Amino acid sequence: MGASSFDIFESLFDMGNMNMGGRGGMGGSRNRAVDGQDEYYNLVLTFNKAVFGVVKEIEVTRLESCDTCNGSGAKPRTKATKCNTCGGQGQVVSSARTPLGVFQQVMTCNTCGGAGETFVPCNICSGDGRVRKTKRISLKVPSGVDSGSRLRFRSEGNVGRRGGSPGDLFVMIEVIPDPVLKRDDTNILYTCKILYVDAILGTTIKVPTVDGMMDLKIPGGTQPNTTLVMAKKGVPVLNKSNM
């Protein structure tokens, strides 16, 4: 069965942004706030620091409010004027004639970016109201992170425009593998070899852990590939509220 004319029309236009008839759904958006974008940072940790957690000082480059224009984007001592393209509404209507009638799409004004106003741009930020700066941030990395963990630090991303909320900072974790210890979720694995007579009679050996060298008792009659457990020597469960 062939597609109906409505099916074809719906594939060409976003019906959620259309208004039928001759009136556009214009809404006042003068000085509309725009939220800041998120920033991302890749952090490399050693095996032990990932297990126990650490406080790290990092440098991030992000957009912050322009001191010259106080975030307005306008050149100091100048005044904004109503946008001639949208008449101060911040939106314009694009019409399309179809066999079903005239459909209108409301779009953000390209001239003023939805602000409804035009102005002489600030010489420092070129009218954006924000400038890119480098800032040192102290991050508390919780214990138990692993490669692929993503930590979210709220409001540490790019500042918003016209009073919009700042974005967040996402820290992507990469952990350098330990040459001896292997991680399996919250467990830490270590493979050791012992003499045949020690496996039969039993013995005590020194094994590496994240807390240093520890004594491990090998019971008599231990078979090959046996797994012995040392309680509370694994990885803390990562606080999921930080993810």
Residue-wise pLDDT for 180-203, tens only, equals: 999 999 999 999 999 999 999 999
pLDDT at 5 exceeding the cut of 60: no
In angstroms, the CA 39 to CA 63 distance is 10
What is the pLDDT, as a whole number, of residue 102? 80
59 and 122 housed in the same domain: yes
| Residue 8 in domain | no
170 occurs within a structural domain: yes
Statement to judge: residues 86 and 196 lie in one domain:
no
pLDDT in tens, 165-176: 999 999 999 999
Of the candidates 146, 175, 204, which is a domain's last residue? 175
- Amino acid at position 1, single letter: M
Same domain, 46 and 139: yes
Domain membership of residue 192 as a residue range = 182-231
Quick one: 124 and 191 in the same domain?
A: no
* pTM above threshold 0.85: no
CB atoms within 10 A of CB 170: 16
Across 14-26, average pLDDT:
38
Q: What percent of the chain has pLDDT over 70?
A: 85
Same domain, 137 and 226: no
Give the model confidence (pLDDT) of 125-148 as tens digits.
999 999 999 999 999 999 999 999
Q: Give the number of domains in the chain.
A: 2
Q: In terms of Cα–Cα distance, which of 36, 38, 28, 27 is closest to 128?
A: 36
Q: How confident is the model at residue 8 (pLDDT cuts 50, 70, 90)?
A: very low
- CA torsion sign for 17, 22, 25, 30 is positive
Residue 99 within any structural domain of the chain: yes
The CATH number of residue 161's host domain is 2.10.230.10
| Whether residue 165 sits in one domain with residue 193 | no
Q: Is the pLDDT of residue 40 over 70?
A: yes
Please classify residue 200 by burial: count the beta carbons closer than 10 Å to its beta carbon, then call 0-12 exposed, 13-18 middle and 19+ buried: exposed
Residue 97 CB contacts under 8 Å (≥ 6 apart), including other chains? 103
Judged against a pLDDT cut of 60, whether residue 17 lies above it is answered with no
